[in-house]
Amino acid sequence: TPSAAIRAFQYLVRHRAGLDALMQTPASISAEFDADPAAARRIVADALAQGRRALSPDEATALARAYRIPLACEAPDSHTVLYAAAALDGTFGPVIRLGLGGPTGRLFPRTRVGLPPLNQSLACDLIDQLMAEAMPAEPDTASPLFPAEALALVLVQLSLLVCDFAEIRAIRLDPLWLGADCVGVGGVTVEIAPASAPPAARLAITPYPKHLEEVVRLDSGIEALLRPIRPEDEPALRAFAERLTAEDVRMRFFQPLRSLSHDFAARLTQIDYDRQMAFVLTEPGLPGEADILGVVRLARDDIGGSGGGAGEYALTVRSDLSGRGIGRFLMARIIAYGHSIGLDQIFGLVLNENHAMLTMCRALGFRLEPVAEDPTLVRATLALGAAGI
């Protein structure tokens, strides 16, 4: 019927819009916002030690300040009133809501929902969805009325707070005042309870594993930051690929590539940190802005995540830095990571003419076998238990 055809077409439109949103590169902002998690933890721990299930107004305000959420004593002269909140859902765990507040919100309740962890792009999309529904007649006039990026930053800060503390059962920023050039929170309420599992265990989406970050000094004297890759690294990854020789590109991708497209680079940088892991070795600086020196990734084949199984690795080092120990360092790190998550083995497919990679694999204890289906490839396999790593 015509109505069914229209609904089917709208499904395709929404699907395409969703894919486009997922491929956006977030702004390069500090993930920590100079937050003070230690101060926040003391506030929560003291309240729980006293047997309380809610923070006092002063404690809730101090908790918000610890994560640099902007507080305001009074509303701007001309302002819009919203609220932002996070609470536990039985299926998805913590859920973040953004809605209309004040009298307008009571008359016309409008809300939009997102799953943490949020980045700047996801937060901006949440804001756009709410404003498009709240002001359907003039959707393009909503954004200039308030600093949308500053509001998005508040949502990201709220998301980070929820991701860091399994003890937070609910938190509400209400009212959330939006002036022409400022954002301020007029009130904060926080419900707490003892945590029964790590914070990440209750999230529907695996958060960025910050604990895997490490400042390192290589034997060659290079000082760098080793960390999991982030969506914000997309432009830096494309710049990294531009500094690879045509031969190194062919060795990595088994075919010539003139450049990495945005969509391809986005797929390489937007990973779930569960079935896939990728480490980048970078110079100091913000994700997306710091130069990438090398990348190593691991894709596990035990989809259920119950441990065991194998993982396929891939390694690339910037061409002008070859021979300086970066490749071997990154391989050692991804081997150690595979062992830490309980994999039985890791493997990689290597072109039989890639002598440098094959030599390094032999030195690290990999078993090299020809691939029957493709005589140009060698399968390099390392049994992690046997390696004793």
Taken in order 384, 386, 387, 389, the sign of the CA dihedral is positive
What is the arithmetic mean of pLDDT over 119-123? 86
- How crowded is the C-beta side of 288, counted as CA atoms within 13 Å? 15
Q: What residue has token string 């030599």?
A: 359
Q: One-letter amino acid identity for 215? A: V
Closest Cα to residue 356, out of 299, 387, 316, 312? 316
pTM beyond 0.85, yes or no: no
Q: What is the DSSP string of 300-322?
A: ES-TT--S-SEEEEEEEE-GGGT
CB atoms within 10 A of CB 331: 22
- pLDDT tens digit sequence for 161-189: 999 999 999 999 999 998 888 899 999 99
Which residues, 6+ apart, have CB-to-CB distance to 74 below 8 Å? 186
- pLDDT tens digit sequence for 222-265: 889 999 999 889 999 999 999 999 988 888 888 777 778 888 88
Which residues, 6+ apart, have CB-to-CB distance to 2 below 8 Å? none
Reported as a pLDDT band with limits 50, 70 and 90, residue 82 is very high
Closest Cα to residue 23, out of 119, 91, 95? 119
pLDDT at 204 over 90: no
Q: What does the block give as tokens for 387?
A: 């390696």
Q: Which helix (H) or strand (E) holds 299?
A: strand 292-300
CB atoms within 10 A of CB 330: 23
Q: What does the block give as tokens for 151?
A: 């509001």
Q: What are phi and psi of 347, to 5 degrees?
A: -145, 165
Which residues, 6+ apart, have CB-to-CB distance to 303 below 8 Å? 275
Q: What is the DSSP string of 137-165?
A: T-GGGSGGGS-HHHHHHHHHHHHHHHHH-
Average pLDDT, the chain: 87
For residues 106 and 83, the answer to whether their CB atoms sit within 8 Å is no
| Amino acid 200: pLDDT | 85
Closest Cα to residue 310, out of 267, 341, 356? 341
| Amino acid 30: pLDDT | 52
- pLDDT tens digit sequence for 36-63: 999 999 999 999 999 999 999 999 999 9
- How crowded is the C-beta side of 298, counted as CA atoms within 13 Å? 26
Which residues, 6+ apart, have CB-to-CB distance to 33 below 8 Å? 67, 68, 153, 156, 157, 160
| Amino acid 306: pLDDT | 46
Burial of residue 60 (CB within 10 Å: 0-12, 13-18, 19+) is buried
